[in-house]
Copies of this chain bind each other. A is one copy, B any other.
Amino acid sequence: MAVHNIIESVNLALKEEMKRDDRVIVLGEDVGVNGGVFRATIGLLEEFGDNRVIDTPLSENGIVAGALGMAVNGLRPVAEIQFMGFVYYILNHIICHAARLRNRTRGRITAPLVIRVPYGAGIRAPEHHSESTEALFTQIPGIKVVVPSTPKDTKGLLTSAIRDPDTVIFLEPKRIYRAIKEDIPEEEYTIPLGKARMVKEGKDITVICWGAMVRVVETVSEEAEKENIDIEIIDLRTLSPLDKDTIITSVEKTGRALVVHEAPKTCGLGAEIVALINEKALLSLNAPVLRVTGQDIAVPLAKGEDYYIPSVDRILQGLKKIINF
């Protein structure tokens, strides 16, 4: 065991998988010599050479198309997109090809491909560097969407993503890249995709969250405890496909639920979670399932960022609306 933060865990998972399987290739802008703008790929070029750690020209469409072509030809590429705000360039190849090749060819051609994207606000970055548009991906049948929230989960989930036979969008909560340190096993391990993590059991209300929001919700939980509200916290880990069982079992127990996410509210993943709960557990509900989320606006620049990201106060306010319904 050794102590690592999230960005180091990304690096470790990449390194281990590259050692284990020489089909694993890392590519993207500045991932080689520079080790990635967040240093996620540091040391990989030195260890694996420039046939496996590849600095590309500046085109996200090209990176993903290239990686997808590689995946079709038997490699296991892990592409990096520098920021979520540049991810819209890749949607065409993801929707039209990565998500569909297996179906289009009735199983003959597949796309085992990972796309890593740092996402989310909170680091006072320029415009387009703070987005949380995961719902663009969760609505695409045929791909998986994964978000870790701790160093340990990061390594295990990324390892699973790399070994997964389908295309995985791996979103990294960059705001907490270096905020949490944790003992994580030296040896390789996987954490299954599609399974949520029970962060904390509780009896009064289920709070569903992921990524950087998990820590905020943990703080909320402490605050709420002071007012005798006992929160159950679910960290989704995989946003698509959803872990229905964990969500529904919890809501059936608590009778109340809140979804917290950084993305704008309208048509965010929160909507799907509310719809799912409504469909499967309506009679268990003592109050509406609410969402505390980013607003339906562009993520503000530094001076406004904190208004946008769900704060402890806003989440508490949402909680109380549900509890006092």
Residues on A lying within 8 angstroms of B by beta carbon are 85, 88-89, 91-92, 95-96, 99-100, 103-104, 127-128, 133, 135-136, 138-139, 141-142, 240, 242, 263-264, 266-272, 274-275, 278-280, 282, 285, 287-291, 295-298
Contacts A279-B290, A298-B100 given; does A139 touch B266 at CB 8 Å: yes
Q: How far is the CA of A128 from the CA of B93 in the complex (A)?
A: 12
**22 residue pairs A–B, Cβ–Cβ below 8 Å:** A88-B91, A88-B92, A88-B96, A91-B136, A96-B128, A100-B298, A104-B127, A133-B139, A136-B136, A136-B139, A138-B266, A139-B267, A141-B266, A267-B267, A267-B269, A267-B272, A271-B274, A271-B275, A274-B274, A274-B275, A275-B275, A279-B289
In the A-B complex, list the 5 residue pairs whose CB atoms are closest, starting with the nearest: A139-B267, A274-B275, A88-B92, A271-B271, A141-B296
B residues in contact with A141, CB < 8 Å:
264, 266, 295-298
Copies in the complex: 2
Identity of the chain B residue whose Cβ is nearest the Cβ of A94 in the assembled complex: B88
| Complex partner residue of A270 from B275, B290, B297, CB under 8 angstroms | B275
Chain B residue at minimum C-beta to C-beta distance from A276: B271
| CB proximity of A59 to chain B, nearest CB, Å | 12
Q: Which residue of B lies closest to A281 (CB)?
A: B288
Task: State the CA gap A274–B272 with chains docked (Å).
Answer: 8
Q: Which residue from B88, B99, B278, B298 sits with its C-beta under 8 Å from A104?
A: B298
Minimum CB–CB distance for A324 against chain B, Å: 14
Q: Is the CB of A288 within 8 A of B278?
A: yes
Q: Which residues on B sit within 8 Å (CB–CB) of A266?
A: 138-139, 141, 240, 242, 272
